[in-house]
Copies of this chain bind each other. A is one copy, B any other.
Amino acid sequence: MLDTRELFEKHTLRCTRQRVELYETLAACKCHPTAEQLHRMVAERSPGTSLATVYNTLEAFTDAGLCRKINSSGGARYDADVSDHLHVVTTDGRLMDVPPEVGDEILRAIPRAALDRVQERLGIKVAHVEVLLRTS
């Protein structure tokens, strides 16, 4: 298990107090927080961390592949779990993970051959499949 500093080194991200705090807060959180929520959470332990830094840092993390940005109405949400997994959005705006045992079954069912055909037909390279279940 890499510690946070090593993780940053591996991705050539400078290791600052704010980044460590932010990453560990996000990683410890199962709730897919918004930037605003993360800012509040981090502010408790690390007063003075600015919201601009939270946004900049989350972008750096996302670009580096250390977290995932999930677009949703009312502000993007972030997830430090970058493994393939599914999300559920409820009508009242909650966002949660699909339990991995069930999610994996769905992901494994997606035929590789079909994805290959999409790539060929559209002339693109599919890097990631995102699945969102919506409640009514």
Question: Which residues of A approach B to under 8 Å, CB–CB?
Answer: 69, 71-73, 76, 88, 90, 96, 98-99, 102-103, 105-106, 109-111, 114-115, 117-118, 121-122, 124-136
Contacts and interface: CB of A to CB of B under 8 A. Distances in A.
A133 to B, nearest CB: 5
The 3 residue pairs across chains A and B that have the minimum distance between CB atoms: A127-B136, A71-B71, A130-B132
24 contacts: A71-B73, A88-B118, A88-B122, A88-B124, A90-B124, A96-B122, A102-B114, A102-B118, A103-B118, A105-B111, A105-B114, A106-B115, A109-B109, A115-B133, A118-B133, A126-B133, A126-B134, A126-B135, A127-B136, A129-B131, A129-B134, A130-B132, A131-B131, A131-B132
A65 to B, nearest CB: 10
Q: How many copies does the complex hold?
A: 2
Given A71-B73, A127-B135, A134-B128, A106 B102 contact: no
